[in-house]
A and B are shown apart, each in its own frame.
Chain A
């Protein structure tokens, strides 16, 4: 188990949100979409230019820009080495 910045996660990698350190409107928009500590997320994929990123959260899909994803730390399983596309 290790904490990773969301930006560094690979496609199809899953983890549990450990912390979100941002207030204001961005913090609110993340929370109202279900991005709160304890929530499980999976990287669904990235846009053609690698940014934004699409996440699977609570049965829906959300998109975030990379600089927004930087505020989110995720606890991932070290053994989770599924290949992209698997």
Chain B
């Protein structure tokens, strides 16, 4: 039995890394996660001629500096895990720039093999690359492949296995006289003191010092502050000298020489162009239309609207199937178990809670499929390009547009897939600001509540009010983003320098893996936490139950009504359907229902949630909310749909369905606690207060920290209450 070989896959984003990974490992892959950070890495295993291999897919990067998490993850993995061979995938049609990353692996010295991908595309573009020549000049094997079709991958793996015998051997690239001299001095100091040498080659450390690499500087300080100070002093001296004589930073000179090294190699007959390099390719022709200054935005709106339709309209059917399934489950439990707390918990806590999480699954699958198509085809980068100017005003990034739209930018989305869609953003601060503000959009679950209140209090101008509230949600979300970016998420914009990859047809396999992987992550992560929370919420709204005396009182009332009738309509009212029964029986049924509803109201009022609602009344009065509204809003934290049903119970109206709430509307319009001003204040509060629990959990997972989820709950609630209070007070004052 031969030993398992560990390989790592590295390369630029858009070089075909994921495609190669999928081609090699198929479905035998799983997602790993580094504690504390949100960058995933994937691991897959496969066999090649009887040899077991494990391949780790590292994040796509352009460099090995310490500026982004992706780069640090890649670098740390290589030096800490020391994979036996590193496969560097490069895009043959974009060789010069792709080799920039390669030079950094050469300097690190890890056993390397180059997978020269997309040789077909390159050939179409008139670029011919002599792999053998390139291999000779770089000193590492180069294997031409087409990752999409799998062509050349067998050869690649055979060659890679041969490379595992290679020791780590850093390669020297010259950085010009000034720097080379300094590097020699630095290396002398480093080797003398064994400085960081257990992890990094001396030359690599020296170069990172010259590049002012924060992570290495920090590690150096921790390990041996004396040597670190000496190194830093030398670097400062040469930096000053270079700034004076050449007006350039050392890192710029290093980059220039890396490109110089690459150019010198490519010029030795490695790469030949048979066409003019400025020729327009098919992709550029598509761009002439899709990013056209007039047509571009129109087409973009159409595509985004299409994605939205696809996600929400097409997932309706599977969502309703799941609804039926969970309804059936509730029914089964209802008929099988005796009445009591266990049954109530199973139905209201467990089944409704799980139904809440799993009900989102089709939505999330469709959304990720849609986004995967846009992302893999290269269109998403164009959206970011076109929208950046607008979103930048608010401290966001062009790529923020997608999460906003999905969350309800077009009314009726959902913040859960919206929060998860922020993964496409590579700029950390902009991503966090997007993550925290997308729940402000009007998601599908808020819509029935908004519709109810508008229908009840502003029935004369429904459409106009609906539209205004959508605009308000956009405004508030963007302004909140601006506020966050100027306070807790302060900091300069992350550079926009971004690649517009050529348009490509997404591969089916890639789409399927992409979609399933993300959906499964959602089920796993949200499913476990939400179950506990929904049971807790059920308990809050159920316990403590009504005291025995009060229960007996309701029972007595029911008895009194029943006994006033002859037994005939009584038996009838229990058995027959509502339409067929006599007037007497209907009246009886009505009477009993009224008592039942009053009992539910009393029970809710007496529960912990009710007590919280009542206790909050002195404060919530500032915004015009009475205790009934408070309970409904507390319930709404579980899911916004709950607001209507809880309000129904609180107004002793029994079960109120979200899509048939007219009677509740009438009740509200009669209640002296409600008027137009209260309605607007309530609308504002509901739109902007704490996101539902599923969203909160997703925020925690995506942000990589529970602190951000707590922040989101408290910040949003406080902010919403402030807005609602302002609306209510000013509105009341104006009359």
Q: Counting CB contacts under 8 A, is A15 at the interface? A: no
Q: Are A61 and B291 in touch, CB under 8 angstroms? A: no
A15 to chain B, nearest CB (A): 12
The CA-CA distance from A35 to B256 in the complex, in Å, is: 10
The CA-CA distance from A20 to B381 in the complex, in Å, is: 25
State whether A51 and B389 are in contact (beta carbons under 8 Å apart), knowing that A25-B495, A26-B497, A60-B97 are contacts in the complex: yes
Q: Are A36 and B497 in touch, CB under 8 angstroms? A: no
Q: Are A28 and B97 in touch, CB under 8 angstroms? A: no
**Most chain A C-beta atoms within 10 Å of own C-beta, residue among B94, B97, B296, B386:** B97
Contacts of A27 in B (CB 8 A): 249, 251-252
A16 to chain B, nearest CB (A): 13
Contact among A30, A34, A47 for B388, CB-based, below 8 A:
A47
State whether A49 and B278 are in contact (beta carbons under 8 Å apart), knowing that A31-B252, A33-B97 are contacts in the complex: no
Contacts of B65 in A (CB 8 A): 28
Q: Counting CB contacts under 8 A, is B390 at the interface? A: yes
Q: Are A34 and B96 in touch, CB under 8 angstroms? A: yes
A65 to chain B, nearest CB (A): 5
Contacts of B715 in A (CB 8 A): none
Q: Counting CB contacts under 8 A, is A10 at the interface? A: no
State whether A63 and B385 are in contact (beta carbons under 8 Å apart), knowing that A26-B497, A48-B297, A58-B94 are contacts in the complex: yes
Q: Are A44 and B496 in touch, CB under 8 angstroms? A: no
Q: Are A59 and B497 in touch, CB under 8 angstroms? A: no
Interface residues of B in 276-305 (CB under 8 A from A): 277-278, 284, 287, 291, 293-294, 296-297
Mask for A42-83, Cβ within 8 A of B = 1, else 0?
101111111110101111111111001000000000000000
Q: Are B388 and A52 in touch, CB under 8 angstroms? A: yes
A47 to chain B, nearest CB (A): 5
Q: Are A34 and B497 in touch, CB under 8 angstroms? A: no
Q: Are B496 and A54 in touch, CB under 8 angstroms? A: no
The CA-CA distance from A58 to B96 in the complex, in Å, is: 7
Contacts of B259 in A (CB 8 A): 34, 36, 38-39
Mask for B493-508, Cβ within 8 A of A = 1, else 0?
1111111111000000
Q: Are A59 and B390 in touch, CB under 8 angstroms? A: no
State whether A30 and B291 are in contact (beta carbons under 8 Å apart), knowing that A23-B251, A48-B296, A65-B392 are contacts in the complex: no
Q: Are B278 and A56 in touch, CB under 8 angstroms? A: yes
Q: Are B293 and A29 in touch, CB under 8 angstroms? A: no
Q: Are A44 and B284 in touch, CB under 8 angstroms? A: yes
Q: Are B500 and A54 in touch, CB under 8 angstroms? A: yes
Contact among B125, B390, B392, B496 for A63, CB-based, below 8 A:
B496
Q: Are B293 and A33 in touch, CB under 8 angstroms? A: no
Q: Are A34 and B249 in touch, CB under 8 angstroms? A: no
The CA-CA distance from A56 to B93 in the complex, in Å, is: 13
Count residues on chain A whose CB falls below 8 Å from chain B CBs: 41
Contacts of A31 in B (CB 8 A): 251-252, 255
Q: Are A68 and B495 in touch, CB under 8 angstroms? A: yes
Contacts of B500 in A (CB 8 A): 54, 60-63
Q: Are B497 and A60 in touch, CB under 8 angstroms? A: no
The CA-CA distance from A37 to B248 in the complex, in Å, is: 11
The CA-CA distance from A58 to B256 in the complex, in Å, is: 15
B89 to chain A, nearest CB (A): 15
Q: Counting CB contacts under 8 A, is B674 at the interface? A: no
B287 to chain A, nearest CB (A): 7
The CA-CA distance from A15 to B45 in the complex, in Å, is: 47
Q: Are A29 and B386 in touch, CB under 8 angstroms? A: no
Contacts of B278 in A (CB 8 A): 14, 42, 56
Contacts of A36 in B (CB 8 A): 252, 255-256, 259
Q: Are A52 and B96 in touch, CB under 8 angstroms? A: no
State whether A47 and B97 are in contact (beta carbons under 8 Å apart), knowing that A23-B251, A65-B496 are contacts in the complex: no
Contact among B94, B97, B495, B499 for A26, CB-based, below 8 A:
B495
Q: Are B291 and A45 in touch, CB under 8 angstroms? A: yes
Contacts of A48 in B (CB 8 A): 293-294, 296-297, 386, 389
Contacts of A57 in B (CB 8 A): 97
The CA-CA distance from A56 to B498 in the complex, in Å, is: 12
The CA-CA distance from A3 to B556 in the complex, in Å, is: 95
B485 to chain A, nearest CB (A): 16
Q: Counting CB contacts under 8 A, is B719 at the interface? A: no
Contacts of B67 in A (CB 8 A): 25, 28-29
A39 to chain B, nearest CB (A): 8
Interface residues of A in 1-27 (CB under 8 A from B): 14, 20-21, 23, 25-27
Contact among B100, B125, B291, B493 for A34, CB-based, below 8 A:
B100
Q: List 19 A-B contacts (CB under 8 A).
A: A25-B67, A27-B249, A29-B62, A31-B251, A34-B96, A34-B259, A36-B259, A37-B256, A39-B259, A48-B293, A59-B125, A60-B94, A60-B97, A61-B500, A62-B499, A63-B388, A63-B500, A65-B388, A68-B497
Q: Which residues of A contact B (CB under 8 A)?
A: 14, 20-21, 23, 25-39, 42, 44-52, 54, 56-65, 68
Q: Which residues of B contact A (CB under 8 A)?
A: 62-63, 65, 67, 93-94, 96-97, 100-101, 125, 127, 247, 249, 251-252, 255-256, 259, 277-278, 284, 287, 291, 293-294, 296-297, 381, 385-386, 388-390, 392, 398, 493-502
A-B complex: 3 closest residue pairs judged by Cβ atoms: A49-B389, A31-B255, A32-B62
Given contacts A48-B297, A51-B388, A56-B278, 18 further A-B contacts (CB under 8 A): A23-B252, A26-B497, A27-B252, A28-B63, A34-B96, A45-B291, A47-B388, A49-B389, A52-B496, A54-B385, A59-B96, A59-B125, A61-B284, A62-B499, A62-B500, A63-B496, A65-B493, A68-B496
